[in-house]
Each structure stands twice: as structure tokens, then as C-alpha cells.
């Protein structure tokens, strides 16, 4: 499944095995067959492609593929683009059945879809137009992603310079020595229990994907579950450090979360304001200097984590409070510029995806078909699954 791209016609990275190794337990396909993932989330992600360049003209793959073989009236590339449409994907998602996490699209949905079927010459022309358009969009997408990567690398480089270059008068202390007196550097609630609509908000490691965490969308629990965890009660503006799973991930609790709590995988951090400004502390914790220490102290296989003892020994570099203010201003300005560029790039990438879908819709509504006559037909008549 990993070798099937996201709406990418090529199927790359093929491995070679003897026929006896793959004869049973794998799905057979042949040259020019269209492969389509049937299981969640691969189907939603648009994992499909056209099998080409197969040694001996045959291949074997995951049993979670639909294998669609076109007859003489339908080009594989034309079918590939048809299956790349959001409308097709959304319809398939709605038809899924099975256990949660293992839901699959039924064959009846795929074979029951109606596909426009112009003459082969017109299919070739449409495929040629789509190939050119998508190649141009792929180049534009790659350039935008590179710009986004450059912006992030520039920010990381600037942050690294601040915290790793030789700084006269800077102090280096253990994290435990620079936090507030009411910050215990402790784990949160181990067993939060069921969700409760009117309950106490709690922050989980999965909530830390954004910089500022607000109450919106958080799980809520019976407040009594937090009775024994007053040491991790949030005050607002706490730094929330992930210590289980994606260790080192950091977010900031909004003021609206005062009184809320966290789960076992998060440690709230509040710095002693006479030593380290909370805003400066955020950048200190995400700096390569500290993140490298977290990575080194992280252990585990199935579940990566860092223990409290090692967390408390993390070395923090910081200048005087006065110097922190000027550095914080500079880093905040750089963050704002990076965020603006990131948002601009994200908007462009979304626009490219929307343009792809618009082009596909036009193609299969006959708006790219010129004078070629188009016949709608059922996929069952033109392909085998």
C-alpha cells in the first residue's frame, strides 16, 4: 500500500519476489491495470495509480486494492482521472461498511458508478490535456512547498542561532530550578473517563497540533476525576509539553483554560517570572538546544516517552529579563512573518487542489471534449474489479 501514490499515476518502488512467495494472500494485477485502495483512510486519501513497467507484465499487491482492468473502450489513464475526483471519493466514503478503523468501500459502489465514455481518440486528447495541466500544477505545488520549507528552515535557523551561539552573560539552569513555585512539573490525569458535555475541559497530546489551545473541541470530563490532580490544574498561559507520543511538542494554554487540566501525556510548565518570561520560555523549549535534549531522553518503541526525572534536568539557556524582552520581540516578529507566509502557501496549495478538481469536473462533464461525442456508461461494463 505504501508504494501506491496519492492520486499519482505511477506505482513506484516495486519489490521483486518469486511467484511462489506471492501466489496466495496477495492481489494479482497486470500491466495497465488501475489500482485503487478500498480501505480507510487510504481510500479517502486518494491512493490509486496505474500499474506499468511490470516485470513479466504481472504484479501482486495488497488485498486492500481494487484492481480495475479496462476493456478496449476505456483508457486506463482516463479511468485514473475519473477516480481522482472528489465526488467519486466522497461517494465511496458514504458507502463504506465494516468495523471502525477497518471500513471498506464495497465493490458494488465502484462498479455501479457511471463514467462518461467518449471515443478513444477523444479520451486520449482529454488525458493529454489533463496530463499537461496536472504537470504544471505539480510544479507549482512543489515550488510552493519549497517556499514553505525555506520559511520554516529560516525560522529554525534563527531560533537555533539565538539559543546555541555563544552568549555572554547567559545562564544555564535545570528546568526544575527556573519554574514557578506552584509548578510541580507533574503528569496529568491518568484515567480521565468518559466525555461529559458539561464537564471539565482537559487537554490531551492529540490536541497539541496548534500553538494556542482553547476550550473549543476539547474533551470534557467529570470534574471529580481531577480532584487528585490539582498540581496540574491550568492557570492560563501555561506551556503544555507533550511527554508521551510526540515528545517535545509544545502548545500554549489560552487564558480561557484557567481551571482546566491535562492528561497523563502532558506536563504544564510555568516559569518563575523573575527569572524567565513565559513568552521567552516558549521559544526556549522549542529551540533545537532543548528539543535535542528531549529527543535524547526519549525512550520506548510502541510508545515514546520521557520521564519526569529527565524532564526536570533539561538545561535551559536564558539571558537577563531585560535582554529576554528584546529577543522575545524579535522572535515574535519572525514568527508572525513565518506564519503569514505559511498561511499564504497553504492557501495557494488549497487553491491548486481546488483547480485540479475544477479541471477534472470540466473534463468529465464534457467541457474539454471538443467535438467528440460522449456516452455515459457503467463501470461494470468497461472494467473488472
Distance of alpha carbon 219 from alpha carbon 222, whole angstroms? 10
Per the CB < 8 A criterion, the answer to whether 84 and 360 are in contact is yes
State how far the Cα of 70 lies from the Cα of 383, in Å rounded to an integer.
5
Three-state secondary structure of 199-264: CEEEECHHHCCCCEECCCCCEEECHHHHCCCHHHCCCCCCEEEECECCCCCEEEECHHHCCCEEEC
User: Which grid coordinates belong to 28?
Assistant: 494479482
CATH of 1-118+372-385, one of 3.90.220, 3.40.50, 1.20.120, 3.30.70: 3.90.220
The domain segmentation of the chain, as residue ranges, is: 1-118+372-385, 119-165+322-368, 171-318
Q: 182 by DSSP, 3-state: which?
A: coil
Q: Give me the architecture of the 171-318 domain, per CATH.
A: Alpha-Beta Complex (3.90)
pLDDT per residue of the chain (385 residues) written in tens, 0 to 9? 666 777 777 775 567 777 767 667 788 889 999 999 999 889 998 889 998 888 888 888 888 889 999 999 999 999 999 999 999 999 999 999 887 778 999 999 998 998 889 999 999 999 999 999 999 999 999 999 999 999 889 888 888 888 886 577 899 999 999 999 999 999 999 999 999 989 999 999 999 988 999 999 999 999 999 999 999 999 999 999 999 999 999 999 999 999 999 999 999 999 999 999 999 999 999 999 999 999 999 999 888 999 999 999 999 999 999 999 999 999 999 999 998 998 999 999 999 999 999 999 999 888 875 444 445 566 556 665 5
Domains 1-118+372-385 and 171-318 share a fold: yes
Question: Which run of H or E residues covers position 289?
Answer: helix 288-297
Backbone angles phi, psi at 77, to 5 degrees: -65, -35
The model carries a pTM of 0.71
Amino acid at each position: 500500500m505504501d508504494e501506491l501514490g496519492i492520486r499519482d499515476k505511477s506505482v513506484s518502488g516495486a519489490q521483486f519476489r518469486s511467484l511462489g512467495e506471492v501466489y496466495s494472500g496477495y492481489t494479482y494485477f497486470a500491466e495497465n491495470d488501475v489500482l485503487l485502495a478500498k480501505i480507510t483512510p487510504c481510500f479517502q486519501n486518494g491512493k490509486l495509480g496505474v500499474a506499468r513497467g511490470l516485470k513479466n507484465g504481472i504484479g501482486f499487491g495488497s488485498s486492500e486494492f481494487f484492481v480495475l482492468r479496462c476493456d478496449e473502450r476505456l483508457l486506463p489513464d482516463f479511468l485514473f482521472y475519473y477516480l481522482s475526483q472528489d465526488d467519486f471519493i466522497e461517494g465511496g466514503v458514504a458507502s463504506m461498511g465494516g468495523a471502525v478503523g477497518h471500513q471498506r468501500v464495497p465493490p458494488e459502489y465502484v462498479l455501479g458508478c457511471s463514467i462518461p465514455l467518449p471515443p478513444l481518440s477523444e479520451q486520449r486528447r482529454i488525458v493529454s490535456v489533463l496530463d499537461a495541466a496536472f504537470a504544471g500544477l505539480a510544479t507549482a505545488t512543489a515550488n510552493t512547498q519549497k517556499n514553505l520549507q525555506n520559511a520554516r528552515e529560516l525560522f529554525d535557523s534563527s531560533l537555533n542561532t539565538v539559543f546555541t551561539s555563544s552568549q555572554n552573560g547567559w545562564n544555564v539552569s535545570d528546568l526544575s530550578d527556573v519554574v514557578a513555585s506552584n509548578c510541580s512539573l507533574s503528569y496529568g490525569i491518568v484515567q480521565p473517563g468518559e466525555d461529559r458535555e458539561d464537564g471539565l475541559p482537559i487537554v490531551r497530546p492529540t490536541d497539541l497540533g496548534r500553538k494556542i489551545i482553547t476550550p473549543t473541541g476539547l474533551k470534557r470530563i467529570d470534574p471529580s476525576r481531577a480532584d487528585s490532580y490539582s498540581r496540574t490544574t491550568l492557570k492560563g498561559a501555561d506551556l503544555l509539553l507533550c511527554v508521551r507520543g510526540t515528545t517535545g511538542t509544545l502548545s500554549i494554554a489560552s487564558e480561557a483554560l484557567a481551571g482546566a487540566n491535562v492528561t497523563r501525556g502532558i506536563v504544564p510548565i510555568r516559569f518563575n517570572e523573575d527569572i524567565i518570561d513565559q513568552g521567552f520560555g516558549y521559544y526556549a523549549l522549542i529551540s533545537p538546544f532543548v528539543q535535542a535534549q528531549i529527543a535524547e531522553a526519549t525512550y520506548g518503541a510502541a510508545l515514546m516517552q520521557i520521564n519526569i526525572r529527565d524532564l526536570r534536568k533539561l538545561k535551559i539557556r536564558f539571558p537577563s529579563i531585560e535582554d529576554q524582552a528584546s529577543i522575545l520581540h524579535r522572535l515574535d516578529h519572525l514568527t508572525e512573518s513565518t506564519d503569514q507566509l505559511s498561511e499564504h502557501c497553504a492557501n495557494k496549495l488549497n487553491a491548486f487542489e481546488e483547480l485540479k478538481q475544477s479541471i477534472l469536473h470540466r473534463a468529465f462533464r464534457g467541457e474539454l471534449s471538443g467535438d467528440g461525442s460522449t456516452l455515459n456508461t457503467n463501470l461494470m461494463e468497461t472494467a473488472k474489479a
